[in-house]
Structure 1
Amino acid sequence: MHLVDGLVPVPVVVGCSAVAVAGVALGLRRLTPDRLPQAAMVSSVFFVASLIHVPLGPSSVHLILGGLAGMVLGTAAFPALLVALLLQAVFFGFGGLTVLGVNAVILALPAVLVGEVARRWVSRSPLAVGALAGGLTVMLSALVCAAILALSGEGLATMAQALVLAHLPVAVIEALVTAAVAVFLTRVRPDVMAVAHG
């Protein structure tokens, strides 16, 4: 779901960049020094998972793990995912530097929104909440990306629809992976997803 430089009109880039700056600022305020290792781990896992692409028609899909990032980090998922997106743009050319804010909004905003809600309920039913958070985050990211593509020109509307459909199987896989990790973490390290972390 990385959009590339030059695809998105300037007003959309500016608007998304403003949202990304606000999200990163809020995330950094809540990212305490003792949580830096968690943020680094989530950023690394996101970075690696996003590098494994599965071809699907004219495009490809990959795991995002946004639901997991949101549940573990809360609002701190914004700066963590932004760092991973920046490294992907610089080292591998995924996305681009001018659309860094756009890609951050596509991936981090749904992760933070879903994660903040899921963290409040995950201890009661880690399997169900983890699955819902994983799948819902993927579909919300796909919808945000589709909306941005639709705003970018009529020629991209068909691509936007195909993007949402292509991510349905990804949502199922993400739901399973996030549910498994949520169950594991609530048993082994319940403090990792504690709401008190902010």
Structure 2
Amino acid sequence: MAHIPDGLLSLPVLIGGGAFAAVGVAAGLRSIDDRAIPRIAILSAAMFTASLVSLPVGPSSVHVLLSTLMGLMLGPGIFPAVLVALILQAVMFGFGGLTTLGVNTITIALPGYVAALVIGARIRDATSPRGAGLLGGIGAAIAVLGTGCLVAVSLWLSSSDYIPAAKVMLVTYLPLALGEALICAAVLVFLTKAAPDLLVPRLANGDLPG
């Protein structure tokens, strides 16, 4: 349940999440090159489509996030890309919520962005596609678990009554972390062979994010 619905989170958590999301989105919009807009749109659409497919796991459900791939390919642009996908999902399908857009943006985008910062340079410098895929898979798994932790913390800060549910929910992220790692690794192996330039985000200042 990376998409937290309306009515669960307290007002301070909603305000805090919205503020952090606003900073991330603003930084993303300032940093991206105009030529990166089609890439951002495509990856936002990919996340929009992929994360609509939820699989029940115990009392919760899981879905693909693609956050590490987006972080590697978009840099700070992951924040506006995730926000747009979440808005469309909430408005068109009632998936997630409107009041929780800020929190949901941070819980999905921030772990992917941080993972990309840590492993981005190593993936671009990897001597083999398999090495890049392995690094990406590890980063993707850690990012998914990071999302699970942020969701759990958001629930815990809102009410201590959510603590048991948050603990159970964290367990459901384990199979998702494995699946996300396999998907990210496979895509990176392919991109490293076929289009390594896609792993270099287009930033307005020409710098690399990681």
Q: Which TM-score bucket, shorter chain as reference?
A: over 0.9
Structure 1 stretches (4+) deviating beyond 6 angstroms?
Answer: none
Paired with 1:14 and 1:90, the residues of 2 have a C-alpha distance of 20
Question: Is contact 1:133-1:175 (8 Å) kept?
Answer: yes
TM-score normalised to structure 2 length: 0.91
Structure 1 residue runs of 5 or longer lacking an equivalent are none
Asked if 1:155 corresponds to 2:161, the answer is: yes
Cα separation, 2, equivalents of 1:165 and 1:57:
9
In structure 1, the residue matched to 2:142 is 136
Specify the code of the residue in structure 2 equivalent to 1:155. D
Aligned residue-pair number? 198
Mapped partners of 1:166, 1:57: distance in 2: 7
Structure 2 unmatched runs, 5+: 202-206
Q: Distance in 2 between the 1:45 and 1:116 partners?
A: 21
Tell me the C-alpha RMSD between the 2 structures: 1.2
Q: Verify the 8 A CA contact 1:75 1:116 in the aligned structure 2.
A: no
**Among 170, 174, 182, which residue is 1:176 paired with?**
182
Identity of aligned residues (%): 41
The residue aligned with 1:26 is 27
Equivalent position SS for 1:167: helix
Post-superposition shift, 1:41? Answer: 1.2
- TM-score of the pair, normalised by structure 1: 0.96
Which has the bigger relative contact order, CA under 8 A and spacing at least 6? 2
- Per the TM alignment, residue 5 of structure 1 is displaced from its structure 2 partner at its CA by 1.1
Distance in 2 between residues matched to 1:4 and 1:80, nearest whole Å: 19
2:118 pairs with 1:117 = yes
